[in-house]
C-alpha cells in the first residue's frame, strides 16, 4: 500500500474487504468487525454531512476513550473533514483558544462534557453528534447513524489535512500539528515495517483519548489487527483486559508498566503479551531488564512527537540494542543532530534532534510564527538534545528548555535523573530547577520509592556524589508518595516545579 495515493477511507475499505469478519475494535460494551466498521463509518460520515460538515471543516472530538472515537475519526476522514481531539481537562481559556484557532465547526460530544464546551457552543450551531446519552444542546444522537443513507463516492485526496494532533500545552498554548491522510498512513507503515506490528496482534494503547487518538487504530488499518479501545487507567482492570482479550501489544509510559507490576502482574495471565511499547520517558537499563523478566516479553523504548505523527526512534527487542539509549531511526524517518546554526554536529557530540520524512507534519494550524520556528526546509526541529553513537543509536541528553545553569555551567536534568534511577530504591525521579538566594539556580530532585524500599534524602545525595560532578548533585531532594502526571501519563514537570520545596527530613 502506497500512502501517497491512498486515503484513510480507502485503506479502511481495502482492509474490510480482506478481513470482513475479523474483529477490528473491542470496547467496553461492544465489538466491531472490519466490515461493520467500514459500514458504520459510511453512515456516520453521512450523518455529519447532514449536519452541514463538509470537506475541510474541523470537528472536535470531546469524549472519553471508546470505539466511537475511532469510527468518528475515520468518518470525518472519509468525508474530507478534519478531526481535532479536545483535551477536556484543560482550562476554559485554552479550549476557547483551540476552537478559535482551529475554527472548529462541529463536535462528537458526550453529555458529561456539555459544561466544557458551553463557552464555545455558539460556534457549533447544532452541528453536534451526541454519544453515550442525551445532551442539552441541539444535535443528533449517535444512534441516528443507522437511519442515514450512506453517501456516494467523495472527492478526498491523500494530501488533504484530516487531523490536528495537539501538543500537551505544558510549555505554552497547545499547538495543533496538521497531518494528512498520507502522513498518518506513512507512520502506520513505519510501525509495521520498522517496529514489527503484525496482523495477529491485539493492540491496547494507554494514552489519553485526546493524546494522539490515531495511534489507537492506525497500524491495524494496514494489517487487519484488533484494537482494544477502553477508557481506563486502572492497572488492575488493564491486567484483566490483557488476559480477557489476549492482548499482544501495549503502548504506555514506563510508569504505567510499573503500576501494573505493583498490582501483581505476575499473578495475572499476561502470557499473550509479546511487546510492551514504552514512550514518553527515558528508560534505564535496569527498568528494561526488570520489565522483560517480569512480563516475559519484549520491552521496546520508543521516541516520537506530536509533529512526527508517532514513533521515529525505537529499540526493537528482536534486534541489536543498547540499554539506556533512546533508539535508532525507524523505517521512513531521517534523523539528524544540529547545532544552534543548523549545522550537523560531529558524531558523539550533543545536538538538537531534527527529523524529516513522509509522516512528519509541515506546520501548526493557525500559528505561522510557531510553524516558521519549528519547521525548516522539510525538517522538524524537536527541541530535544541528543548524541549519536557509532552504531546509529541516539542517546537523549535533555530538553533544551529544561536545561539548568548552575554557577554558569550547563546541567541537563536527565543526567541527574539517570543516576537516581540507578539507585535500587527509586521508582520514579524528576529533576527541576529551584532558586537559592546565594547559589542562584540549583537542581531539585523529587523521587518516588519502590514499594517496600527505604532511603533518605541524605543517602540519595551521597549516592549522586559518587556518580556526578559536585555542581550537578541535587541541592534539594524530596521523597514524595506520588508524583503528578499529565493526562498522557508523563510526569508533569511544571506541576512539580511549581510546588513549594518541602523541608528536607533529617537523616
pLDDT digits 0-9 by tens, 440-469: 789 999 999 999 999 999 999 999 999 998
CA–CA separation, 431 and 408 (whole Å): 18
Nearest to 244 by CA among 233, 236, 252: 236
pLDDT digits 0-9 by tens, 399-435: 777 888 887 787 889 889 999 999 999 999 999 989 8
Nearest to 473 by CA among 400, 404, 424: 404
Q: What is the pTM of this model?
A: 0.87
Confidence (pLDDT) at 507: 46
pLDDT digits 0-9 by tens, 260-287: 988 876 667 899 999 999 988 778 888 8
338: number of Cβ within 10 Å: 16
Confidence (pLDDT) at 167: 87
Map out the domains of the chain with their CATH numbers: 3-183 (3.40.50.980), 232-399 (3.40.50.12780), 403-498 (3.30.300.30)
Q: What value does the mean pLDDT take over residues 304-330?
A: 94
Confidence (pLDDT) at 388: 97
Q: In the structure, what pLDDT confidence band is assigned to residue 503 with cuts at 50, 70 and 90?
A: low
pLDDT digits 0-9 by tens, 21-30: 999 999 999 9
Q: What value does the mean pLDDT take over residues 335-352?
A: 95
Nearest to 4 by CA among 347, 387, 359: 359
Cell of 291: 520489565
How large a percentage of the chain has pLDDT more than 90? 78
Amino acid at each position: 500500500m502506497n500512502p501517497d495515493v491512498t486515503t484513510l477511507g480507502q485503506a479502511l475499505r481495502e482492509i474490510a474487504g480482506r478481513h470482513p469478519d475479523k474483529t477490528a475494535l473491542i470496547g467496553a460494551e461492544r465489538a466491531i468487525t472490519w466490515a461493520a466498521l467500514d459500514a458504520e463509518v459510511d453512515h456516520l460520515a453521512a450523518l455529519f454531512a447532514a449536519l452541514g460538515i463538509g470537506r475541510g471543516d474541523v470537528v472536535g472530538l470531546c469524549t472519553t476513550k471508546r470505539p466511537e472515537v475511532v469510527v468518528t475519526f475515520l468518518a470525518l476522514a472519509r468525508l474530507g473533514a478534519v478531526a481535532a481531539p479536545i483535551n477536556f481537562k484543560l482550562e476554559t481559556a485554552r479550549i476557547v483558544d483551540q476552537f478559535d484557532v482551529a475554527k472548529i465547526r462541529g463536535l462528537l460530544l458526550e453529555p458529561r462534557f456539555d459544561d466544557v464546551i458551553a463557552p464555545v457552543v455558539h460556534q457549533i450551531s447544532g452541528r453536534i453528534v451526541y454519544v453515550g446519552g442525551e445532551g442539552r444542546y441541539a444535535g443528533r444522537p449517535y444512534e441516528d447513524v443507522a437511519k442515514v443513507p450512506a453517501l456516494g463516492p467523495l472527492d478526498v485526496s491523500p494530501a488533504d489535512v484530516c487531523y490536528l494532533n495537539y501538543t500537551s500545552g505544558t510549555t505554552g498554548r497547545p499547538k495543533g500539528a496538521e497531518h494528512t491522510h498520507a502522513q498518518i498512513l506513512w507512520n502506520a507503515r513505519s510501525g509495521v515495517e520498522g517496529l514489527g506490528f503484525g496482523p495477529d496482534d491485539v493492540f491496547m494503547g494507554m494514552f489519553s483519548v485526546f493524546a494522539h487518538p490515531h495511534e489507537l487504530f492506525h497500524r491495524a488499518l494496514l494489517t487487519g489487527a484488533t484494537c482494544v479501545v477502553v477508557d481506563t487507567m486502572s492497572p488492575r482492570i488493564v491486567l484483566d483486559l490483557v488476559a480477557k482479550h489476549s492482548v499482544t501489544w501495549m503502548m504506555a509510559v514506563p510508569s504505567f508498566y510499573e503500576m501494573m507490576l505493583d498490582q501483581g502482574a505476575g499473578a495475572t495471565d499476561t502470557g499473550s503479551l509479546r511487546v510492551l511499547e514504552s514512550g514518553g520517558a527515558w528508560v534505564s537499563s535496569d527498568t528494561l531488564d526488570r520489565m522483560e523478566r517480569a512480563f516475559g516479553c519484549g520491552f521496546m523504548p520508543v521516541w516520537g512527537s506530536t509533529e512526527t505523527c508517532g514513533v521515529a526512534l525505537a529499540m526493537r527487542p528482536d534486534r541489536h540494542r543498547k540499554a539506556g539509549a533512546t533508539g535508532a531511526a525507524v523505517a521512513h524517518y531521517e534523523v539528524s543532530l544540529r547545532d544552534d546554526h543548523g549545522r550537523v554536529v560531529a558524531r558523539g557530540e550533543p545536538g538538537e534532534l531534527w527529523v524529516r520524512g513522509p509522516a512528519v507534519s509541515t506546520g501548526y494550524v493557525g500559528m505561522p510564527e510557531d510553524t516558521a520556528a519549528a519547521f525548516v526546509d522539510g525538517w522538524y526541529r524537536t527541541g530535544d538534545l541528543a548524541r549519536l553513537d557509532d552504531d546509529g543509536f541516539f542517546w537523549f541528553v535533555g530538553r533544551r528548555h529544561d536545561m539548568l545553569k548552575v554557577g554558569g555551567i550547563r546541567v541537563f536534568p536527565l543526567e541527574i535523573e539517570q543516576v537516581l534511577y540507578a539507585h535500587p530504591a527509586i521508582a520514579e525521579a524528576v529533576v527541576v530547577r529551584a532558586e537559592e538566594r546565594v547559589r542562584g539556580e540549583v537542581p531539585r530532585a523529587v523521587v518516588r520509592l519502590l514499594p517496600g524500599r527505604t532511603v533518605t534524602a541524605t543517602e540519595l545525595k551521597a549516592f549522586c556524589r559518587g556518580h556526578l560532578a559536585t555542581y550537578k548533585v541535587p541541592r534539594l531532594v524530596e521523597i514524595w508518595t506520588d508524583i503528578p502526571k499529565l493526562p498522557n501519563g508523563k510526569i508533569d514537570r511544571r506541576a512539580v516545579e511549581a510546588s513549594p520545596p518541602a523541608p528536607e527530613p533529617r537523616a
